Amino acid sequence: MAETRPRDAAQTRADILAAARRRFAAEGFERTTLRAIAADVGVDAALVIRYFGSKQDLFATATEFRIDLPDLSGAGPDDIADMLLPRYFAVWEDDHTFLALLRAAMTSRVAADTLNQTLATHVAPTLKGITPDNHMKRIAVTDAFVIGLAATRSVLANPPVANLSREELSRWAGPVFRQLLVGPAPS
């Protein structure tokens, strides 16, 4: 109940976002209610609306994940995986926002569009810095590979892939990144 909590708006906002990520990850977009998120934090649903607007607005804010890919211009073909993968690991294994979004995107068009939009605005421009040709095709298949690895490791937990150390995975993924991003275009 709102009046029993100290009136620290920043903390409350942060608590709401954390609760929203847990709910969206566990239950998906459609089934998550603002009322349930509010109850998790011990505030009124009206407060959630006042801070974040609609459920869709809250979802967009809660699942806005940062992915800071390094500048790849000038990177050698063999260095690409080593440069990219630590950033990808940081997003898909250390930051629960991305997994919440990925799970929600399986059953919600809104969430899927949010994920697609993030890939288009935060990932594609960086990758485009090194692709020599067929930019969108190279980036598309690279995104598919990365999402497949993330899902297989962190959500499906398929042992052959989940059990690989980050270093092992990096070594196996290296030739794939290299081929997809800068290798010869298939005829």
| 136 counts as binding other proteins under rule CB under 8 A | yes
Of 50 and 166, nearer to other proteins (C-beta) is 166
Please state at what angle helix 96-105 crosses helix 80-92, rounded to 10 degrees.
80
| 144 counts as binding other proteins under rule CB under 8 A | yes
Number of residues that bind other proteins (CB under 8 A): 50
Of 90 and 141, nearer to other proteins (C-beta) is 141
C-alpha 73/C-alpha 141 separation (Å) is 20
| 129 counts as binding other proteins under rule CB under 8 A | no
- In which residue are the tokens 């890919």 written? 69
Segment near other proteins (CB under 8 A); pick from 13-21, 56-64, 87-95, 119-127: 119-127
Q: How far is CA 10 from the centre of its chain?
A: 23
C-alpha 48/C-alpha 34 separation (Å) is 7
Query: From the CA atom positions of the chain, what is the Rg in Å?
Result: 19
Kindly tell me which residue out of 56, 106, 132, 166 binds other proteins, with binding defined by CB under 8 A. 106
